[in-house]
Chains A and B, each alone.
Chain A
Amino acid sequence: MSDEKVLIKGNYAIAQAAVNAGCQCYFGYPITPQTEIGEYLSGKMQELDRAYVCAESELGAINMVMGAVSTGVKAMTSSSSCAVALMQEALSYAASDELPVVLVNVMRTGPGLGYIYPAQGDYNQAVYGGGNGDYKIIVLAPSTVQECVDLTYRAFYLAQKYRNPVILLADGLLGQMMEPASFGEYPYPEVDVSGWALTGAKGREARKIYSVAPDEKKQIQHIYDLHKKFEVITENETTYEEFNIDDAQIVLTAFGSMTRNIKAAMNVLRGKGIKAGCFRPVTLSPFPHKRISELAAAGKDFAVVEMNMGQMFKDVKYAVDGKSNVDLINRPCGEWLSVEEIVAGVEGVMQGGKTYAASI
């Protein structure tokens, strides 16, 4: 692939990036607004003599991914909100089994069946998980179509590097929009999986991958090990972006495709003499608690802008820990908060310190 820019939909960008990353198997079940991922791969994987299976259900799809990745190959599934809910049991198993599952969630509106409008209501589902037990998933949130490419590459790499499930958390707006992006080459080294992958036991001792733990001591140790691993991930892989942060009095904070809007709002606010900055976590898990804590200690206030009822807001509050003010500017789903609404929200916050929620 070249560095030439192409005008491409977020969904197709994710699909092509998965191909470039060396994804050997795709298993999925259609759902709006991410169906183009499966559609694209249904042709592409066949062309490349790789595996494409339209599964009988989302449960089937995620379990097929677990089976495929346990043999050491790269594999993924993609889905959306209410259907990702069906995959939560498998994610808990995959985390415990330390399987490099890659799952793309192009978020739509919930709860329940909801609808196909874009939303960011699965922050908690992705970051805190809907499966049982103490486990953690790596969650990456692209904000542009270019990042749909870059973070898909990173998802495959991190999954194998740490043997941990990774969720790429996009949204309907990003999946459906087109923007120029370039693919370049898959930028990461291939991870050696020969030490654990199930490739047939001929000539070596048999291996097992399972999560049943009838031995209490071993289970305690297993959970400690998983969490120690995540401490390493937190230390090495936490990423975020900052804009105009040094002199900022109020820091607009958003994730995913809302980032574009807060940057524009920041520019408008600066034009009005308000020292606004922007902060945007790239990894939602591990979350950049430490950096937000530093900024709060420096006296900077936060306005969290998101398309849900305040999910990342709680993580920011936890990181700030009372050291400065944190407010929420939000709408539950549908049309993204406009630049004007965000500017009005920040001005309202700065005047009254009250939480601002946009009307529908």
Chain B
Amino acid sequence: METNFIIAGFGGQGVLLAGTVLANAFMIEGKNVTWYPCYGAEMRGGTVNCEIVVSDTEVSSVHKQDTDFALVLNQQSFDKFVQRVKSGGTIVANSTLVAESHPRSDIKYVFAPMTKIANDMGNGKVTNVVSLGVLSSVCKIVSKDFLAKGVEKVLGEKKKNLLPLNLEALENGAGSLALV
């Protein structure tokens, strides 16, 4: 069983870091996982994305044409990656910055106000971790508990003081859909 994720947003939203947390969570869970960033001559304000593939067996390929899940944090990413979601797949969007629309009928849509949730916590920078919380509530192979361990690993000893804030962001993201 292999599942892939694209996480996308604009530069500065922490999408590569969100992908790193997700990939660490899968690694800690004992799964095979790869993380691959888009890399190129990117401009400030441009979009950035990374692709995470998780598999029970060896990962088949690191970079794929389509994706099971797209986690998009801004409008441009929604417009671009809604086309790349597999039929039957899911797009999870940050409704603070993405207008709700349903351009395809063969995929599932999840909208959550990720930036607003982060801002309400007093720190817009944790939008990326909020988004992972939302993802864990709609994707059963993404475990909130392992995401918490992933966050802890990525923060390390140096930034351990930020752990409570990030764990709260994860919880608030995971609980956000119940509020809608």
Contact = CB atoms under 8 A, between A and B. Distances in A.
Interface of A: 5, 7, 32-33, 116-117, 172-173, 176-180, 257, 260-261, 263-264, 267, 335-336, 338-339
A176 B61 contact: no
Contact of A116 (B34, B39, B61): B39
B11 interface: no
B35 A339 contact: no
Interface in B149-174: none
Interface of B: 20, 23-24, 27, 32-37, 39-41, 58-65
Contact of A339 (B20, B32, B34, B61): B61
A178 B20 contact: yes
Contact of B35 (A116, A117, A179): A179
A336 B61 contact: yes
Given A336-B62, A336-B63, A338-B64, 20 more contacts: A5-B27, A7-B23, A172-B39, A177-B34, A179-B59, A180-B27, A180-B32, A180-B33, A260-B59, A260-B61, A260-B62, A261-B60, A261-B61, A264-B58, A264-B60, A264-B61, A338-B61, A338-B65, A339-B60, A339-B61
A7 B20 contact: yes
A337 to B, nearest CB: 9
B34 A178 contact: yes
Contacts, number: 60
11 contacts: A117-B40, A173-B63, A177-B35, A178-B34, A179-B59, A180-B32, A257-B62, A260-B59, A260-B62, A261-B60, A335-B63
Contacts of A261: 60-61
A117 B39 CA distance: 8
A178 B23 contact: yes
Contacts of A32: 39
A198 B39 CA distance: 43
A263 B35 contact: no
B33 to A, nearest CB: 7
